[in-house]
Homo-oligomer: A and B are copies of this chain.
Amino acid sequence: MTGIKYVYLFKEGKAEMRDLLGGKGANLAEMTNIGLHVPQGFTITTEACREYYRTGEKLPDGLWEEIQPAIAEVEKQSGKKFGDSTAPLLVSVRSGAKISMPGMMDTILNLGLNDETVQGLAKATGNERFAYDCYRRFVQMFGDVVLGVEGYKFEQMIHQAKEDQAREKGGSVYFDSDLSAASLKKLVSQFKKLIEAETGKAFPDDPRQQLQEAIIAVFRSWNTNRAIFYRRTNHIPDHIGTAVNVQSMVFGNMGEDSGTGVAFTRNPSTGEKKLYGEYLMNAQGEDVVAGIRTPLPISSLAGEHPELYGQFEEIAVNLEKHYRDMQDIEFTIEKGELYILQTRNGKCTAAASIKIAVDLVSEGLITKEEAVRKIDPHQLDKLLHRRIDEGAKLKIIAKGLPASPGAASGKIVFEADIAEKLGNAGEKVILVRTETTPDDIHGVLAAQGILTSRGGMTSHAAVVARHMGKPAVCGCEALRIDYNSRKITIENQEYTENDVISIDGGTGHVIQGLVPMRDPELSGEFQTILKWADELRTMQVMANADNPVDAAKAREYGAEGIGLCRTEHMFMDPVRIPIVQRMILAQTVEEREEELAHLQPMQEEDFYGILKAMHGLPVTIRLLDPPLHEFLPNSEDLITEIAELRLSDQEDREARQKLYDKESLLKKVRALHEMNPMLGHRGCRLGITYPEIYAMQCRAIFQAAARLVKEGYIIYPQIKIPLVIHYKELEILRQMINKIATEICLEQGVLIAYKVGTMIEMPRAALTADKIAQFADFFSFGTNDLTQTVFGFSRDDAEGKFLPHYMSSGILENNPFAVLDRDGVGKIMRICAELAKSTNPELKIGICGEHGGDPSSIDFCQEINLNYVSCSPFRVPIARLSAAQAALKG
């Protein structure tokens, strides 16, 4: 014995012991302690799992000895005995990490059966068929999960057994439950032979040996590829390990007065306050979850077993009160007696979780702060996705269960690997399967949506899709899938791989071809949550928008201004690009100014539009940022043209002239060519070397502003200088801006309240922030470029080349362009913010890179006391919620 306690009886634990007992173990303890009718058992701690891995995959010293008295206690409670041939104790062995990883790890049921105890079970229940069914299930599961024999080999034998029985005894033998005791008995023996042939060892008959091997199998299942993948996707640390729960079995398959089911206390799709779930009589739990038999809705239980239903309803209400959240409950009825096997906070759609949170507040169960904290901001993204336009004419080709809301279109693919490959290449695909398994997760992640032909609302596909916010239609039985020929048949109509279909996870419709989609609106509850979030957060939320349409969308979603209005897209307009090119190729400042004079009124209209759309709120306009060669044709095309022209008829005068022109243009393109444009002549380096370009933009801004002020609008233009690395750049450009502003204000006789600030996107700007801050009204972290320079990662190159390898090999946990890298980029941001506030305490500091809409990054922004975040309009609600959650942490 090591002195460490590795084993806890359920009655010894409590809810607060999640770290040690895992979520499931802590819950079983909690349920036991609040008096629910829970089959008793014990939990082996996560510490034991960690020790198992620490010592090179060996059961910890003393663990096995500690398990013995726990078994004795369970024997005492249940009145059954482990390995006893009269009243045998059977147990389930289940994994249970601190954070739930549904379906990811292994479970063994009915452990404790052997040729002797099965007789005891048959005798005790008076049901030989049931006993052998248990035995068959147990040997099959143990063989598959613990001993690693491939599952399909058992299934083939079952299939054969059904045929044999039908041939020998007659009658329809379609379901497993149609198999007779004799058939099952024979199957058990066949299974054992199979296992011995495959593993070279006899099936263990000793229940204690079974238990020991099952515990090891659960520990091992922590590190399967699918579990590791799931943890990576869900940001669960690898080192925490799983607990193991050993619990005495109760049986839902003891006849028609037995059953098993799963139910949510509220509807996990809509949030409606009504029991929502499914059950099957005369079945064990996995029959419901695996989607092999289509179960009945829980409401049917009210009609068939009103008393049990009443009990269950009461338990549901009490559990919600106790856990102050919607519950996901597993139950079993053994000969008319209701057992609760598990309860946990229910996973549900974003819409449902919002409605539930708001309802729980109005029911007085939780506070507004708790409601805001409850919502996973990552999930909101899905609510803000599109749905099928109501007015669209749809060719509906089938209907299944509306398993996960939202709509999607894409090419049909049948395999998760292909879905992943195409999805990563940017293709939109719909993953179509008879049913999905945990091995398909990477494909689900990469697909736009999921369509299955089997399984219910709680099938694997449905649960995973809802969790990931992917639209899903499940149990679409009209679908015939032929994996070999890669075809679907629906009522004689064939659809092959790569044909485009659409699905509507809200209605269950499967639709032929692409369909028109509409942007989402925010529900009343969503607005309520966001209103609460606004009350709680301390950071401002702004949006990135370059035009009046996006600005209006940002306003609608609650943005408090525009944090980043890029001006380069305005230069790319097809009408303007020839002028822009002439401006770039100008030989003299005068020539350049002439072309700029043509651009100025156009830019003025751009700024007029967006400032007007945001009246009353600030609009932060970033002056021209990209290198000038981005506006010119590319040199490779020119070289090809020139090579061809050279070989053409040189007597032709026109061709000669054309060749000359192309060669001249190529010379200029080459002169502007840069080895590393990301680190080149761009941003304020243009403003410093070609001040006339920035001057034009500023005149356009202040002319537009002056017009609006005269028209009575209240506007707050803010000018943002990109790519600053030295305070003198900002000093010089600020002087220029002030001069232009003063001139125009005096000329137009108006006052314009404007600000001047800078992007912080190069490490040197961050490192010299104390000096730069003295010339700035605001700082705006451009974390895209800052990430590029801090890592030395060119995003264009890294994401296609080595970055995937860096993530899959575990060097980087996340793509740093999606989730802010706190150790590196975050550290320099913190240094910057501290330096800047030391010389300019009034400075407003924010972030406008893509990270501005990422919850974990927003959390970090709050941690380093930033004043605002700015993100794309569609992410504004997420940012509002995330900012509130970050503020609540502080």
Contact = CB atoms under 8 A, between A and B. Distances in A.
Interface in A129-178: none
B679 A794 contact: yes
A792 B644 contact: no
Given A675-B797, A805-B688, A824 B768 contact: yes
Interface string A796-807: 111001100110
Contact of A794 (B644, B674, B797): B674
A726 B803 CA distance: 13
Q: How many copies does the complex hold?
A: 2
A792 B828 contact: no
A27 B298 CA distance: 104
A485 interface: no
Interface in A658-699: 674-681, 685, 688-689
A384 to B, nearest CB: 31
A763 interface: yes
Q: Which of A685, A689, A827 lies at the interface centre, i.e. has the most chain B CB atoms within 10 A of its CB?
A: A685
B792 A764 contact: yes
B725 A824 contact: yes
A742 interface: no
Contact of A763 (B728, B732, B789): B789
A419 B761 CA distance: 39
Interface string A490-507: 000000000000000000
A689 B802 contact: yes
Interface string A333-345: 0000000000000
Interface stretch (A231-239, A536-544, A563-571, A633-641): A633-641
A810 interface: yes
A644 B824 CA distance: 49
Contacts of A761: 792
Contacts of A647: 643-644, 647
Contact of A732 (B688, B789, B811): B811
Chain A interface size band reads 35 or more
Contacts of A676: 675-679, 794, 796-797
A723 interface: yes
Contacts of A811: 688, 726, 728-729, 732
A65 B809 CA distance: 81
B639 A762 contact: no
A304 interface: no
Contacts of A674: 794, 796-797, 801
Nearest to A787: B764
A802 B675 contact: no
A549 interface: no
B790 A767 contact: yes
B677 A678 contact: no
A762 B828 CA distance: 13
24 contacts: A636-B639, A639-B643, A644-B647, A647-B647, A674-B796, A674-B801, A678-B794, A679-B679, A679-B798, A680-B797, A680-B798, A681-B801, A681-B802, A688-B805, A688-B809, A689-B805, A732-B811, A762-B791, A764-B790, A768-B823, A771-B823, A789-B789, A789-B790, A831-B831
